[in-house]
A and B are shown apart, each in its own frame.
Chain A
Amino acid sequence: MKFEELETEELINAYEQINNFIDFLRKECSNNDK
């Protein structure tokens, strides 16, 4: 994806959403990993 084209405000929004999703993935992983 070409992030440079996004406005800073939108980029901040996307960054926060992605990081929240990464947190979710890490939790899921630790809950299910043996």
Chain B
Amino acid sequence: MTNSQKLNEILQKIDSSKEILSTMPKNNEKNIDIYVEKIKELEKEYEKYSKEIKDVLESRYIKKTNIEENKEISDLYSRINTIEKVKYIFEDEKSSMAKIGLDKNIYKISKFYKDNLENVNMQIAEAINKFKEVGIKVDISDFNYTDYVQEYMTTFLEEMSKNTLDSDVLKSKFEEVYWKCPDIIVYIELNIRNIYLKYQNDIDKFLKKEKAEILKKWKKTPSEIQNSYLELKKRLIEQMDIDRKTLIDMFLNGKLNIKDFADNKLKENCLRLLPEEIVQNLEKNKDTVENIIKLLNSLYEYKNYLEFKFIVSDIKNIYAEKDKYKKLNTEIRKNLQASEKKLQKINKKLNGKNFWSKKTSEIKQSPEMNNLVLEIKKIYKEFELNEFYNKIATQVNEHSTILDVLKLANSDYIYLTDCIIRNDESISAEDIENKIIKLNEFLENPYITAINNMSFIDEKDIALVIKDRYKLLKFKIEKEDLYEDNIDKLISIVKNIIIGANMKKAKIEVKYIEEICNLNKLLY
């Protein structure tokens, strides 16, 4: 008996079961009982078949999808991670505050102060730990901004040492201090900024020493480490592109649709991109396949550039007024120190020197003190932004590339968030984070070829440059294809051609993917 005959046998069996049921009388209770009894008997029988088939299908699915990832991929990930852990030390465009990520904690404390105390506490604890990691052991004597800060941070440090930052003790201490000093979190934020400035030289020295030790141990220069990093990322992408497991998973989790990779669909996409004579010999012509991959990388680069173009424009505007920012920073720092001294004086005048003998209810504040704290917050913001503007004035010149200035922006969390918010005032905190992650990924892309060669001042029409480059290689591409509204369509076509080629390299057939996708849909 052939397989099709077996299938027919099952179908015929179902039909004959239906036939039997249709001939059974249901004219009285007794007959209905007999009918129901027969139904239950058939149900049991067919459930047994159903389970047996399901078991066979499941074991086939497991066998077909139980594929190991190429071992080189996890090895590459681990080598990339090793570099990523220390890479920040070599990023000279970053201040030591940015290198250790303290700028992010300060930003989050200032943003979350209104809605999430647990998150604020977590950020304060992270900031304290970051100081510790660079050899600065912060204790209660550092939290001397005001008596209220000292009051809250005394309990905070006690609870932190016991790993109980979610304790009721800390919550009630916050409650107690908050009603006396509603700006307590602003005070703590400023105090952390103050601690950083106090120890900045020590932190700089620590990081410099770490950097020297790593370079000595690895026997490489920072640029050699960066090059190795980019080469490893390239290798990882190449290996993942043709890895059977990675490709199959993309179909199983719905990221790819097998219908887009049928032969006729792939040919249609190829003909959209290239003349027929080239498409006919595509498999033999390695150069053309390489050029399609290069085109995809150019399209991704251009799309990302469009998303972050507003930062380049902002820096261009700051650069045009660069002379304004060259000298001001020392003046702002002096102003900051004077205001902080004044704050200490007012605090002492109101509360005396002996904080430890006081109860919270006895600690006093004055409107003068509160206004001064808000003024100091403004000066810190001005100081930080000016520090960034100063970098533009001193580190950027007319030969700087788009990549250079985007990297500079990416090195300064406070400026970057400020710039993103100015570009889109309704953006959520989560979307800001996602945008920053995306910018970071973009700047670490090992296939960047345009923005690292183009001046940020004399910005060329990148779309035109890309179009002209690939037209020379006989690609059917027009400038309109690179318009913001059309680029995703072109990316999708090019990406599918490349994935189709990678599937061939990985010896994955369309029929095979269809089968496991059908099984996946049916079984899970």
Contact = CB atoms under 8 A, between A and B. Distances in A.
Contacts of A8: 57, 60, 515, 519
A9 B515 contact: yes
A12 B7 contact: no
Nearest to A29: B39
Given A21-B17, A22-B43, A29-B39, A14 B7 contact: yes
B39 A6 contact: no
Given A8-B519, A13-B7, A18 B32 contact: no
Interface in B1-35: 3-4, 6-7, 9-11, 14, 17-18, 21, 26, 32, 35
A18 B14 contact: yes
Nearest to A16: B522
Given A8-B60, A12-B522, A28 B21 contact: yes
A18 to B, nearest CB: 5
Nearest to A33: B36
B43 A6 contact: no
A21 to B, nearest CB: 5
Interface string A1-32: 11111111111111111110110111011001
Contact of B43 (A2, A9, A17, A29): A29
Interface residues of B, number: 33
A5 B7 CA distance: 10
Contacts of B10: 1, 14, 17-18
A4 to B, nearest CB: 6
Q: How large is the interface on A (under 10, 10 to 19, 20 to 34, 35 or more residues)?
A: 20 to 34
B39 A25 contact: yes
A11 B7 CA distance: 8
Contact of B46 (A6, A18, A28, A33): A18
B54 interface: yes
B40 interface: yes
Contacts of B9: 1
Contacts of B14: 17-18, 21
B56 interface: yes
A30 B191 CA distance: 72
Contact of B50 (A6, A15, A28): A15
B49 A1 contact: yes
16 contacts: A1-B49, A2-B6, A3-B52, A8-B519, A10-B7, A12-B518, A18-B10, A21-B14, A21-B46, A25-B39, A25-B46, A28-B21, A29-B36, A32-B32, A32-B35, A33-B36
Interface of A: 1-19, 21-22, 24-26, 28-29, 32-33
Interface of B: 3-4, 6-7, 9-11, 14, 17-18, 21, 26, 32, 35-36, 39-40, 42-43, 46-47, 49-50, 52-54, 56-57, 60, 515, 518-519, 522
